[in-house]
Amino acid sequence: MADLEDLYREIILDHYRSPRNRGELTCPPAHRAEGFNPLCGDEVIVFIELVDGKLADLKTNGQGCSISQSSASLMSEAAIGKSVDEIKEIATAFKAMLGVTNEDGEAVDTSSAQLGDMEALKGVMKFPVRIKCALLGWNTLLTGIDEGQG
């Protein structure tokens, strides 16, 4: 399926070159969280605004490899406007797509989650070192949400 791989590569490059929801939000009311992947030198900064249990706004910033930055961009599109519970569900499904199991080591049922263009990152699964790059944005967002709620 060379065509599908080409399409996936195109989506990743497009989000790397033109990241969506790039920038900063004023803190407060927004909350800032920062993630770093020392293996690759990737950095993702998220600015989140939670209103009534929903992610009302999200901006991302940072620098690093195409996987980390395109994943953060794809994440921002998927997460804005969603409830915290929905975001955690998508994050779990995304991790499961990359072969990452939950804390109990059990496989996760991802049938209900809509990953959309994020499926373009599925190929990363073949490169275990890059999985941390793909997860950096999501893990930073989840940390920020926990901190922002607390």
In the complex, which residues of this chain contact Zn ion (CB under 5 A)?
40, 42, 65, 68, 133
Q: Which of 56, 48, 51, 55 is nearest to 30 (CA)?
A: 48
CA quadruple 56, 142, 32, 121: dihedral positive or negative?
negative
CB of 105 to Zn ion, least distance (A): 25
CB of 69 to Zn ion, least distance (A): 8
Nearer CB in complex with Zn ion: 22/82? 22
Rounded CA separation 63/47 (Å): 15
CB of 81 to Zn ion, least distance (A): 27
Rounded CA separation 117/73 (Å): 11
Give the start-end residues of each E strand in 1-150: 31-37, 42-51, 54-63
CB of 130 to Zn ion, least distance (A): 6
**What residue type is assigned to position 123 of the chain?**
G
Nearer CB in complex with Zn ion: 31/95? 95
Nearer CB in complex with Zn ion: 9/146? 9
Nearer CB in complex with Zn ion: 56/65? 65
